[in-house]
Structure 1
């Protein structure tokens, strides 16, 4: 590296104070280009923890301010104490030992060649001290990072990441912006313990906590909360703190922050008042200068604040005063505010605050991918629901729309409304920073209802309901009712836990709670019940294997997906990443369940696994042909003479809708001896008033002797064809 790149210079500050002499690299632009190249290479291989907000891609001071304000707001709503210690490091950049820097770089996975490149930058760095009698001799700077260097912020982030690796495990509620550290905890003792851990970790690496600049603040403080001590020395306790340029108050208010923004706006206006008050400059140019210099100072950090109307008016009044001064207009001129804004081409400050909040909301959601995920799944679930409605229309026309399919449609429709309410909630949240909590609760409630309806449908299908002729017994209905009631109560407990007891410093993650573990246990219990029901149904209805085998395999994956996902999230995913990952996975699991059911129940002749039998509300003789009736569109299932009835006796009186045939032939074929028959001659509908004995049904030539010796034959598709004979009329009866 050229020698002229190595010199460093003193920055601002009192020349008589040795503490103000720091190495500042500002003069060599060629050196800055070289540092940018090295930094880009290092960022490709080094991963910094999410708690570090300083000089990281797609992060800014607003992220850290927003995180702190949200944490304080949640604890304020819950009337719970939150203890925060704002730690400042004493000359953080100047105290980093060079050997520690090389060690942290290697530990972070930086290739040795880049370590040598950075070492070459820092070796033989020299500086001089300028005095009244001249300059001193050059001397080496052998400790610390170079102030003003383009590479120094990222190198410092690497050091802090390695330094805090062990501390972060014990103190997860920590936010860092370069050398500004915020430690939060629910108890004073815990935050004091975490502060001591940080002090030990910092001093072990050659750095030092600034006692004078470290301050302590308590949110929702109760009597007797006490103070925090650091090595026996009491940390200064404050009611407000200026964190990264934004004032946060212990009571959660933002009145002082608004006043600071107004003051910052006036300071910016005074700095450019020579331009803004010059009558020779047009109003349009003044408006551009105002929007470039003054307004950003007034809007800084306000996207993270929920402003009241009074506070918003306070900002707008200050802005209009500045604009009136700039344009030379007074109140006596009686010129409307809209005209002044239009002349300077400056919009209302309140609108700009809302725009900034929307922009910030988009930034947060782009990082979390929650809103985009919800919108995407909303469109997909709406498509699934629409397709199920189309299938239901076809099924209803063929007497195949059964209760379980209606339950599936209900679950899909409720899921659509749940996602819709979630999307509306996030949209309202973007507008005012608060949102409508009722919409969020309603979305969660509908999401739970959709899950419960779908789970109940699976258990009923496993027991053979609407797939076989089995009926659910009274005791079985009671068991299902008790189980679903317990499941519902567990969900209610979960909602109460999230609202009252959930740790607001963590992601609102459903399964990381006692109620969440209860939900996982209930789902595993439901799977055991589901397995037993399917196996018993297959035992007594083996002809249903084409449906039950893929059905059981597909939903075995579904039953285990949620508990496995919860375990992985609890122990394998960082807390900051849970919501954005689990949200997408959970919606994907629900989509998988609905899509599989839609596929295996599709009303198509190619679907050999179609589970439903023809609705048996009556045995009818219809005038339409088999093709018009849709008989070719659905497979026909054969049922054996099974004694398994799912806790009750079967009802074979209502089996198939059939075509116009001779009543005499029906009597001859089915053996209706001594049974009453009724015929409606206009609609040609024949119903039976007593059960049909299918043990003597399948052949007119069967005698009592042969039927007693041979087992009853299975019902097959020939049965339907037999009752679809053409060319016979009712008059033949």
Structure 2
């Protein structure tokens, strides 16, 4: 097992994430087991789980949240949203409970026995700068770095939320009650009424503890999506949950006004910072076409993360087009004080304004992806 830093100045154990280095034989067994049990687990998982599933990803979860916000504001209603953070979620899975869930799901005892052997009999050593520690027995959790862990955790999380939230919730879309949006351990709870949301959280805390899970009050946030948002009073163990106007969900900023302007500005700022770090490469004497490909591959990919889900206003389009010209000007070392028109810059780099076209193309591909299958996004 090795420890990776979550942040630059990591000094505490909680500032690190452990990754398991597994023997090749164990990896092969885990892969075979995954193929055997995956379909049965998929049948149990709800449409609101987007993590580690074929045909689903972060853009679908982000898109779901944006669509919900836009529909809520469109009909002039309010929606209380709580972004739940579980403390060390993957490391808190109770093995006895997991084996019970696998049995109830219909997983054959042969597979359950192998999974039990892989997890319950494991010993680990931690690799540090000065060498390795002695072997220690692990008593809970699924290994980060094992191909089985994502689907096992998804099943565990699904059973937890189903048991906790059964019969609760008051938010409907298309006649269907939507309680949660999940991406692995990233859980979003939603309800129209503050009291309903508090009841859902209280129940989730109670059942979560039966599953060995604990909420992180400091990292859990609450937001009210409304035309005139007001603070929401939500408590976890008598501690007030912080109200926020924007929240970074799966790398994308969600705001209480349902707009994408803050997200677009944030993405552009990150892309510009990435360009500045590799400025010597992008402004070098490399072939022009190669440098343009590098900019589109490494810089535009940062700026356009989640662009499929954006609803663009006129001001947002201007920001994006300005960013596009900023890239070409920096690449060709053209200063604003040189008074070179944008048209001249585009001629020099043999380009047209393409960034908005690229976003539209991504949107079309994503819409086709959504329409081809049955899902909540429809």
One of 289, 298, 322 as aligned partner of 2:294: 289
356 and 337 in structure 1: CA distance in 2 versus 1, 3 angstrom threshold: farther
- The question of 1:302 aligning with 2:302 is answered no
Shift of 1:62: 1.1
64 and 15 in structure 1: CA distance in 2 versus 1, 3 angstrom threshold: closer
119 and 74 in structure 1: CA distance in 2 versus 1, 3 angstrom threshold: same
- The question of 1:236 aligning with 2:229 is answered no
- 2:20 corresponds to: 25
SS of residue paired to 2:322: helix
One of 9, 12, 34 as aligned partner of 2:5: 12
Shift of 1:364: 1.4
Superposition pairs of residues 127-166 of structure 1, within 5 angstroms: 127-129=124-126, 135-166=132-163
1:434-481 per-residue CA deviation (whole Å, 9 max, x = no partner) reads: xxxxxxxxxxxxxxxxxxxxxxxxxxxxxxxxxxxxxxxxxxxxxxxx
TM-score (norm: length of structure 1): 0.47
- The question of 1:37 aligning with 2:43 is answered no
C-alpha separation in 2, matches of 1:291 and 1:141: 45
Superposition pairs of residues 118-133 of structure 1, within 5 angstroms: 118-129=115-126
Contact 2:80–2:232 (CA<8 Å) still a contact in 1?
no
Contact 1:84–1:185 (CA<8 Å) still a contact in 2?
yes
Shift of 1:304: 1.3
One of 339, 360, 364 as aligned partner of 1:358: 364
**Aligned residue pair count:** 364
Contact 1:291–1:346 (CA<8 Å) still a contact in 2?
no
Contact 1:283–1:327 (CA<8 Å) still a contact in 2?
no
Superposition pairs of residues 484-495 of structure 1, within 5 angstroms: none
C-alpha separation in 2, matches of 1:269 and 1:214: 33
Superposition pairs of residues 277-676 of structure 1, within 5 angstroms: 277-279=283-285, 281-331=286-336, 332=338, 334=340, 336-337=342-343, 340=346, 343=349, 348-368=354-374, 576=376
290 and 307 in structure 1: CA distance in 2 versus 1, 3 angstrom threshold: same
- 1:75 corresponds to: 72
Contact 1:287–1:345 (CA<8 Å) still a contact in 2?
no
Cα RMSD after superposing both structures: 2.6
- 2:175 corresponds to: none
Gaps of 5+ in 2: 170-177
C-alpha separation in 1, matches of 2:137 and 2:347: 57
C-alpha separation in 2, matches of 1:183 and 1:85: 5
C-alpha separation in 2, matches of 1:133 and 1:173: 48
Shift of 1:333: 6.9
Contact 2:247–2:253 (CA<8 Å) still a contact in 1?
yes
Name the one with the larger helix percent.
1
Q: Which has the higher contact order (CA 8 A, sep 6+)?
A: 2
One of 99, 102, 106 as aligned partner of 2:103: 106
SS of residue paired to 1:359: helix
1:314-364 per-residue CA deviation (whole Å, 9 max, x = no partner) reads: 112122212222233345273644763783667511111111111111111
- The question of 1:264 aligning with 2:257 is answered no
1:213-237 per-residue CA deviation (whole Å, 9 max, x = no partner) reads: 1111011276876411223221111
C-alpha separation in 1, matches of 2:347 and 2:34: 44
C-alpha separation in 2, matches of 1:321 and 1:116: 59
C-alpha separation in 1, matches of 2:348 and 2:23: 45
Shift of 1:168: 4.0
- 2:207 corresponds to: 201
- 1:49 corresponds to: 46
Contact 1:341–1:347 (CA<8 Å) still a contact in 2?
no
SS of residue paired to 2:247: strand
C-alpha separation in 2, matches of 1:259 and 1:31: 45
C-alpha separation in 2, matches of 1:297 and 1:105: 39
224 and 70 in structure 1: CA distance in 2 versus 1, 3 angstrom threshold: closer
Contact 2:86–2:216 (CA<8 Å) still a contact in 1?
yes
1:55-100 per-residue CA deviation (whole Å, 9 max, x = no partner) reads: 1111111111111111111111222111111101110001111112
SS of residue paired to 2:31: helix
SS of residue paired to 1:142: coil
Contact 1:80–1:220 (CA<8 Å) still a contact in 2?
yes
1:108-152 per-residue CA deviation (whole Å, 9 max, x = no partner) reads: 221111112222222433333456875432212221111122221
Name the one with the larger strand percent.
2
132 and 68 in structure 1: CA distance in 2 versus 1, 3 angstrom threshold: closer
- 2:172 corresponds to: none
190 and 327 in structure 1: CA distance in 2 versus 1, 3 angstrom threshold: same
C-alpha separation in 2, matches of 1:53 and 1:68: 12
1:355-401 per-residue CA deviation (whole Å, 9 max, x = no partner) reads: 111111111111249xxxxxxxxxxxxxxxxxxxxxxxxxxxxxxxx
One of 106, 110, 113 as aligned partner of 1:116: 113
1:3-53 per-residue CA deviation (whole Å, 9 max, x = no partner) reads: xxxxx2222257752334654124656644543332222212222111111
C-alpha separation in 2, matches of 1:276 and 1:86: 39
Choose 75-84 or 222-231, whichever is displaced more: 222-231
TM-score (norm: length of structure 2): 0.87
- 1:63 corresponds to: 60
Gaps of 5+ in 1: 1-7, 370-575, 581-733
Contact 1:22–1:94 (CA<8 Å) still a contact in 2?
no
Decide which structure has the larger Cα Rg and report it: 1
